[in-house]
Every structure is written in C-alpha cells, then in structure tokens.
Homo-oligomer: A and B are copies of this chain.
C-alpha cells in the first residue's frame, strides 16, 4: 500500500492510533486507518481407499512440486466451501468433507491454513488448471522430498498418524513444525 485507498493521498504514515497498541498505516490526509489482517488458506486432502490425492503445481510458488489442494478463501464463502472449491480447481474432483485436520499458522507471511480430510467422491479426479498432474498415493509412495509447502507435509503426516490411531484429531501448529 503506497496510497490511501480512501482518498488517494500518498501521505501514509506508520503510527499507533489513539486507543490502539499497534503500528498501523494511517492516512495523513483523511485520517483513515488501514488495518491489515492474516488471510485464510482453505484446503482439503482427498482420500480414496488407502490413498490420498495430491496435485503437482503448474504455478509458482512451488512449480512442479506436489501439494494438498489449497488456496485463499474468497469473500462470500465458508471455509468448507473454499476447501471444496480448491479441490475442484486443482484436481477437477469432488469431495465430501470429513473433518478439519490442520490449523497451521505461518505468522511470518500472515497465513492461517485450515485443511480438511475429505472422501474423494467415486474416486474420480482429473487435472485442474493450476496443476500439471494429479495422482493418488499410498503412504509409502508419498514424494516427501517434492512436497511444495510445509503445510502440506504437516497435514499429510498428521493424516497418516490419525489413520493409524483411528482418530479424527485436529492438529494445531505454527511454521515450521512438520514432524
């Protein structure tokens, strides 16, 4: 942000507004305070029989690497809707969400990942526009060295742990916790 989105002035200052305790961008012309907040990344790990569906990214960041279908939550949608939409956009697949498995914070870049485990309907999938390919993997087949994001590693590891223990447990962590 270089200009005030309320009045167009370039006189933005970093200061702590009256009654606040944090530095904010405040317009020196119109006085509007510009709050900035973390974004939600919604996603879902699709499961089919003993396998999980991953997508190989056709876009940066992480081009060519595999991830759990996820993306920024949009205005007007619920986290569940966002997770289903991302599976559709990345894997051309439909899922029935089972449970929330990860609340994974990356404070440094102001992201909050909320990822579900879901059932891949009929085991059917394609390749979404944002993917080079999509594929089902057993736990032994997961390409651990080629996973795009720590959030995906975290969710995958927790999913297999949950499956072994028979739990549908939500796991909370902050970057870079993956193991």
Contact = CB atoms under 8 A, between A and B. Distances in A.
A15 interface: no
A110 B39 CA distance: 11
A31 to B, nearest CB: 15
Interface string A97-123: 001100101011010101000000000
Please classify how large the interface on chain A is, using the bins under 10, 10 to 19, 20 to 34, 35 or more: 35 or more
21 contacts: A2-B8, A3-B3, A3-B4, A3-B5, A3-B6, A3-B7, A4-B8, A8-B8, A22-B74, A36-B75, A37-B73, A38-B73, A38-B75, A40-B112, A73-B112, A78-B105, A78-B112, A78-B174, A80-B172, A100-B170, A170-B170
Number of copies: 2
B5 A1 contact: yes
A166 to B, nearest CB: 16
Interface of A: 1-10, 19, 22, 34-40, 72-80, 99-100, 103, 105, 107-108, 110, 112, 114, 129, 170, 172, 174
Nearest to A82: B38
